[in-house]
Structure 1
């Protein structure tokens, strides 16, 4: 019987993996919409505490938050589109600056130690076709617009129907014990994932603003665009912050053609990332998801291989949800323990699931 259960479990895992890949265009917008709703709920709680606003009807606050969300989405798409178009318009200048950079390297090292410019351009620099790359990004952004619009529609319905979910849950589980257990699981998911996303979003907003001030002071082109990109990429654990810094620094190299200036920008942006990641984020985010670093890396590799950048962004909340569900299934409880960074971090969680006293 054990072998049969194991076989069924393996087949079920394969079927779920197959569905996640095949149904990406359907499943991903729905999951992304639920994640956005978590951020909405935390925003609604924060806004509801403000003087005067707390007296507004609940539906008015929700409507205002949704309108702001639509405005931010429209502004985001517009900013990305305009910036990419301007980058394409100036790509010729950036391409010429690559020639100047190569000349500086040649003067520093000596021509006898380097191939000719034509050889190097054919082998390396010629492959860095900035206009072609930006054209590809524009095409990807156009295809993503429909995806983002679909998420906005889903968010409206999920956010609007969230208040009636408890009634639906009670109707779905006539047994009060099963209904209470399901409600407990969902409540824990909502609390942990909602708090994590709310705190992480606040951290990313602060990081984006600080990075914007730094890049604006240096005179970097499209500082607002890069600041927004840094904030978005910081949702991706570990590697997101690295790419968020490298991209504007690479632009600074072909814009300023000054290694000391680009190095100074790199140091300041990395310093901002380090302070936020090692000092501010632990205070705000803390152990809200309680996942080990190894589990986060595996989750990052798994979800990004399935859904690309979107999967990388959703890796931590998705894995947190799975960890909570595993803790409620007796056969999978050991997995929930091994996924945790600190098993003693949540005494209530331990006592309820594993009977530790």
Structure 2
């Protein structure tokens, strides 16, 4: 019988400390979510503003000192335009859905009757009976609380964003103070550039593919005659930034409401098949070609990140789950002790496009070669 493998006490202690640190860090992220979620969204918006700024500098004759102002105005206007679209669309939607007792109610009754006959149930419940079983007051209270939380969260996001933009001017001086040596400073800036590039690449791909999906979905919903097509188009664009769940909402929500609007089932079936086809083509043909190596994340990691950050931070965590996974992989790949975790997070086992030390340094298909890993 072979003797048991002896594990050094130092290794056991280190692993135990890492486990305790992970659990404590997760608990802190959950308990401080009211403070950290607006800050995380503000950082996300700041990265977006920086990307728009450099895009304006590279593609327009706008001077560098005004490019930042233009980028800030574009993002802020987009932020308030999004709120306006959601508010107006929701008001129109609920105003049209207020006639449950006149036009929509009988349609729901017919749908319930047809579904009951499909499953062999003779007596189907009515819409009035189902609504009577719901605690409407509790749902309205919850909706009001959620709306209040969104408004207060948006206010704090803008406050954090203002302070972050004001503090951005001293960032480079802080880097010089933290890393006096030229080599270490260059390496730190390289890590920052890779993290920023990964997040900006994710934003670019999701924005472009989301615009394509929304254009095709809007044409389809207009052709079918779905009410509030513009509102549903914007909802599809926003939820597209949430992996997995976003596609489910985008492909199922409009057909479900088409069931209530139309007397026939054909418009809902056309919307269901059409939207699923659009999402399938985008997710399996367009997005992979645009992503390249910029989002070299394992799909299982994307799903686990969605579940983890959704549990910790709710909808904001779901929205930020993929960018946070990209950032984590970029940072973990820089250290010898944590590089194995970056390899597990990556899709092909290589956190960067080229892992050959003999390769020439520089950008390569959206990413750059990593410097020599540091021992920690």
Shorter-chain TM-score category? 0.7 to 0.9
Please name the residue that 2:6 is paired with.
none
- Structure 1's 59 and 222: CA in aligned 2 closer, same or farther, altered over 3 A? farther
What does 1:128-139 correspond to in 2, within 5 Å? 136-137=142-143, 139=145
Please name the residue that 2:110 is paired with.
103
Q: CA deviation at 1:238?
A: 2.0
What does 1:251-270 correspond to in 2, within 5 Å? 251-270=257-276
Please name the residue that 2:98 is paired with.
92
TM-score (norm 1): 0.86
Please name the residue that 2:311 is paired with.
305
Which of 9, 13, 33 pairs up with 1:24?
Answer: 33
1:281 aligns with 2:287: yes
Q: CA deviation at 1:280?
A: 2.0
Higher mean alpha-carbon deviation, 126-135 vs 29-38, is at: 126-135
What SS does structure 2 have at the residue aligned with 1:92?
A: coil
The unaligned stretches of length 5 or more in structure 2 are 1-9, 358-369
Equivalent-residue separation in structure 2 for 1:290 and 1:214 (angstroms) = 32
Equivalent-residue separation in structure 1 for 2:176 and 2:107 (angstroms) = 69
Please name the residue that 2:366 is paired with.
none
Please name the residue that 1:43 is paired with.
52
Please name the residue that 2:199 is paired with.
193
What SS does structure 1 have at the residue aligned with 2:243?
A: coil
Q: CA deviation at 1:295?
A: 1.1
Q: How many residues align?
A: 351
- Structure 1's 224 and 111: CA in aligned 2 closer, same or farther, altered over 3 A? closer
What does 1:210-221 correspond to in 2, within 5 Å? 210-221=216-227
Equivalent-residue separation in structure 2 for 1:285 and 1:305 (angstroms) = 27
- Structure 1's 306 and 110: CA in aligned 2 closer, same or farther, altered over 3 A? closer
What does 1:1-357 correspond to in 2, within 5 Å? 1-50=10-59, 53-54=60-61, 56-94=62-100, 96-103=103-110, 106=113, 113-118=120-125, 122=129, 136-137=142-143, 139-159=145-165, 161-162=167-168, 164-344=170-350, 346-349=352-355, 351=357, 352=370
What SS does structure 2 have at the residue aligned with 1:145?
A: helix
- Structure 1's 127 and 290: CA in aligned 2 closer, same or farther, altered over 3 A? farther
Q: CA deviation at 1:121?
A: 5.7
Equivalent-residue separation in structure 1 for 2:344 and 2:119 (angstroms) = 57
Cα deviations across residues 324-350 of structure 1 (Å, max 9, x unaligned)?
221123222111111111135735446
What SS does structure 2 have at the residue aligned with 1:165?
A: helix
What SS does structure 2 have at the residue aligned with 1:328?
A: coil
What SS does structure 2 have at the residue aligned with 1:216?
A: helix
Higher mean alpha-carbon deviation, 157-166 vs 26-35, is at: 157-166
Considering fraction of residues, name the structure with more helix: 1
What SS does structure 1 have at the residue aligned with 2:98?
A: helix
Equivalent-residue separation in structure 2 for 1:346 and 1:41 (angstroms) = 23
Question: Contact (CA 8 Å) 2:50, 2:71: kept in 1 or not?
Answer: no
Equivalent-residue separation in structure 1 for 2:211 and 2:111 (angstroms) = 38
